[in-house]
Amino acid sequence: MLLLLILIPIIAACAIFTGSKAKLTAQAAGALNLLLGLIAAFSSKAGFWNFSVPVLDRPAINLSLGLVDGMSTIMLLLSVIVTFAALLSGKAPEGKERLYYGSSLLISAGAIGAFVATDLFFFYAFHELALIPTFLMIGMLGRGDRKAAAWKITIYLGFGSLILLAGLAWLAAATGTLDMTAMAGSSIDPESQKGIAALLIIGFGVLVSLFPFHSWAAPAYASAPAPTAMLHAGVLKKFGLYGLLRLAVPLLPEGMHAWLTPLCVLLLGNILWVGFVTINQKRLDGMLGNSSVMHMGYIFLAIAALAAVPSSEVNELAKPAAVLLMFAHGISIAMLFGLADRIERSTGTLDLQELGGLAKSAPRLAFLFGIVGMASIGLPGLANFAGEVMVFISSFKNYDPVVGLGPVQITCILSIWGVVISAVYMLRAYRNIFQGPAVSNTESAADLSLMDRIPAVLLAVVLLAVGIFPNLLLNLL
C-alpha cells in the first residue's frame, strides 16, 4: 500500500528521535522505500497499492492515496530515488544526527504523500508537513547566514501557501468536492476559472520559485545541509509544477489561457534574468541555487504550451515533456548539491576563485561532476536533454503558419538562449574547480570514498538510462 511509503519514513524518524541509531535507521528506511517505490511504479497491479479511509463526513475528507496516472508514478519514483541518495550524502554535525536524519525522513514523507494524495486536503497538508523540517534544517543545521535564509524561506513559502490555500478552497467550492479524481468531470464557469487560475499560478508559483517570487530559493539552498538541498530542490519544489499540471491545466483551461501572456513573461524572467544572475555567482552553492530557479522556467514553458490550447484540441507532447524534465532536473540538481557538499568537505570552500586543479587529487569527483554538469546544460544522451528538446518541440506543436507566431512560440525562441547561458556558467564553474594548476585548498583534497560514490553513481546511472531510453518513463505516461 502507498500508505507504507509514507509511514516508513515517519516511523523511522520517530524511532530516531526516541533513541534508535540515526544514520543506520534512516538509510535502511530509505532503501526499503526505494524498493517498495520501484515495485509500486512498475507493478502490473498498480491499484493494489491504493488506499482510502474516511476522516470527516462534513466536509467529506478522506485519506485517499493512489497512483492516479503516470505523472504521480514518476513523481513517486523521483521521491524515493532522491531520498535514498540524500540519506547517503552529506555528513551530520556532531551531536545533531537525530535532527539531521529524522528531519530528512519527514521531508521525504511529506513529498511522497503530496504526490500520491488524491484528496485536496491531504494534498496540501502533506506538502506543509514537509516544509516544517525544511525550515528547521536550514535554521539550525545550515551554514552561512542560515537564520536569515530560514526566515526568508518561511515568509515566502508561508505567503505562497496561504494564497494557494485560498485557490484550492475556491476550487473545492466550485467543483463541490475535495476528491481530486472526481473533480475531472466538473464544469467551472469562465470567470471563476480565471480567478482560481490566478491564485493557483501565484500560490504554486511561489513554491516553485517562479519569477519574481524566486529570491528565497538560492539563499535557502546555499545555506541548507546537503540532504535538505537535495530533497527540496530535487523533489519538493516539483510540488508546485505537479499541482499546476494536476489541477490548473485540466480543470481550468480557459482560466489558464487567460493568463498565458503574463505566464510567458514571468517564465522568461526565470530563464533569462535569473540565468544572467547565475552567471554572476562567485560561489558554487549560489550558482547551483540560481540554476535550479532558472531551469524551472523550461517546465513552465511546457505548462504555457498546454495553456495555449483552451479548446478540446490537445497538445499531447507538452505534459510528457514537463514531467520528464521535472524528473531529470530533480535527479541532476540533487546530484549537483550532493557533490558540492563533498567538494566543500574536501577543500573547505565553495568559492570558485579559491578552487582549481581538483581533478588531479579527486579524479572520481571530477568525472561524476562532469557527467551531471553536462546533464544540467542539456548534453544529448542524458535525461535533461530529452526533456528540454520535448519542451521546445511541444511549444510549436499547435503552431499555425497562417496565424503566425504566438506568445508560446516567441517565448520558446527567446528561452533557447537559456541553453547558452547554462553552458557558460556550468563550463566556467567546472574549469575553475577542476582544471588548471592545483591551489592550496585542492592539493591534498580527498577523492570520493566508496560510500560517497554510491549515491552519486546511482543518480548518474538514472540520468544516463533515462537519457538514452526516455521511454523508460514516457511509457508510464
> Element (H or E) spanning 51, and its range?
strand 51-56
Low pLDDT (below 50) residues in the chain: 312
The Cβ-side half-sphere exposure at 441, using a 13 Å CA radius, reads: 18
Phi, psi of 283 (to 5 degrees): -120, 145
pTM of the model: 0.93
| pLDDT for the residue 47 | 60
Quote the CA–CA distance of 424 and 202 in Å, as a whole number. 30
DSSP string, 306-354: HHT--SS---TTHHHHHHHHHHHHHHHHHHHHHHHHHHHHHHS--BGGG
Q: How many CA atoms lie within 13 A of 249 on its CB side?
A: 24
Helix boundaries (H) for 176-283: 190-208, 217-223, 226-231, 238-243, 249-251, 253-258, 260-268, 274-279
Q: What is the pLDDT of residue 46?
A: 56
Please give the span between the terminal C-alpha atoms of the chain, in angstroms, as a whole number.
Answer: 21
Sequence-distant (6+) residues with CB within 8 A of 235 are: 78, 79, 82, 83, 108, 111, 330, 334
Q: Can you give the pLDDT at residue 26?
A: 92
Cβ distance 261 to 137 under 8 Å?
no
Q: What distance in Å separates the CA atoms of residue 130 and residue 413, rounded to the nearest whole number? A: 36
Residue with cell 511541444: 394
**What is the model's pLDDT at position 313?**
57
How confident is the model at residue 451, as a pLDDT? Answer: 87
- 68 contacts 118 by C-beta, under 8 angstroms: yes
Beta-bridge mates of residue 179? 119
